[in-house]
Amino acid sequence: MNIAVSVENVYKYYNKIPVVNNLSFTIKAGEMFGLLGPNGAGKSTTIRMLITLASPSEGKIKISGYDVIQNPDLVKQNIGVVLQQISVDGDLTVWENLEFHGRMHHIPNPHRQKLITQWLEYVELSSKKEALVKTLSGGMKRRLQIARALLHQPQILFLDEPTVGLDPQTRRRLWEIIRDLNRKGMTILLTTHYMEEVEFLCERIGIMDAGQLIELGTIEKLRSQYGKGLLVRQIDDRLESKFFPSLEDANHYLDSLPDKTGYMSRASNLEDIFVKLTGHKLD
């Protein structure tokens, strides 16, 4: 099994306080991996270390076999990054943004022009190639960021909340692009605050809290581990929940209650597990 991302006993300290605390996980080549956690969990710091914008205080990180400290240039050649902030230049055209990025990666012509054309077609922006970026919609700018991240043909794509602030239809279109890239063999690490995005896209997830990885596995594995059935009870303005091995078990328990007022049963989902583990909703 080829390992695309390896994080081994990694710590990151700020003012002697660990924001990332003994973090270890691997992502295999071709996998779609989701990294989740409430605000302040250490996700952003972890991503910054993976893409060489920050250095681990302790531990080892390897990307495509290259150490992020010893070989940062080789790491950068093998990764594409789409951050939640819009980072394309609004005063340049769509084409000029990609042309600049291609030159920064020393992609020679005519190969550079061919790649720009290819990726603009892929993200459906060919008709906008002469448009100033500042005239584009939010969804178009995000698609341009994806095209730019892929231009130098990386092995691994890091997506840090790529659909934040987009309308549902645009978000779904980006999901299809991301899923298609993964089908074509791209290794992808995704962070997001949209639970349905994780369930739609990710094969496996890691959940962080207080700088530590507190759970790791497929969504189905986690549902089997914590319970596929849920009993929810409304108490004043809050909800209490209890997991059961299956929805049938939850229903049987509900049926046995003499007073069912305020109770309901349903299948559990990833958000239920996330709340149980962290005490927070993802958003």
Q: Say what the pLDDT of residue 234 is.
A: 87
- Per-residue pLDDT reduced to its tens digit, 82-125: 988 888 999 999 999 999 999 999 999 999 999 999 999 999 99
The pLDDT value given to residue 92? 97
pLDDT score at 165: 85
The kind and range of the H/E element at 229 are: strand 229-235
Looking at per-residue pLDDT, the higher value among 187 and 168 belongs to 187
Q: What does pTM read for this prediction?
A: 0.91
Q: In whole angstroms, give the CA distance from residue 191 to residue 27.
A: 14
pLDDT of residue 269: 93
- Provide the pairing of β-strand 3-14 with 58-63: antiparallel
170 CB contacts (<8 Å, ≥6 apart)?
A: 137, 138, 139, 142, 163
Helix (H, G, I), strand (E, B) or coil at 107: coil
Average pLDDT, the chain: 94
Mean pLDDT across 42-69: 96
pLDDT tens readout for residues 206-240: 999 999 999 999 999 999 999 999 999 988 888 88
For residues 75 and 63, the answer to whether their CB atoms sit within 8 Å is yes
Please state the domain extents for the chain: 3-219, 228-267
CA–CA separation, 75 and 70 (whole Å): 10
> How confident is the model at residue 249, as a pLDDT?
97
Q: Above 80 in pLDDT, residue 281?
A: no
Radius of gyration of the CA atoms of the chain, in A: 21
For the stretch 20-39, pLDDT in tens is: 999 999 999 999 999 999 98
pLDDT tier, 164 (very low <50, low <70, confident <90, very high otherwise): confident
Residue 1 has pLDDT above 80, yes or no: no
With beta carbons less than 8 A apart as the criterion, state whether 82 and 160 touch. yes
| CATH 2.40.70.10 holds for 3-219 | no
- The percentage of the chain sitting over the pLDDT mark of 90, rounded to a whole number, equals 87
Find, among 141, 183, 187, 146, the residue nearest to 6 by Cα. Answer: 187
Strand partners, 35: 206
Q: Token pair of 129, please?
A: 């190639």
pLDDT of residue 68: 97
- Please name the amino acid found at residue 26: T
Nearest alpha-carbon partner for 143 in 167, 160, 119, 165: 119
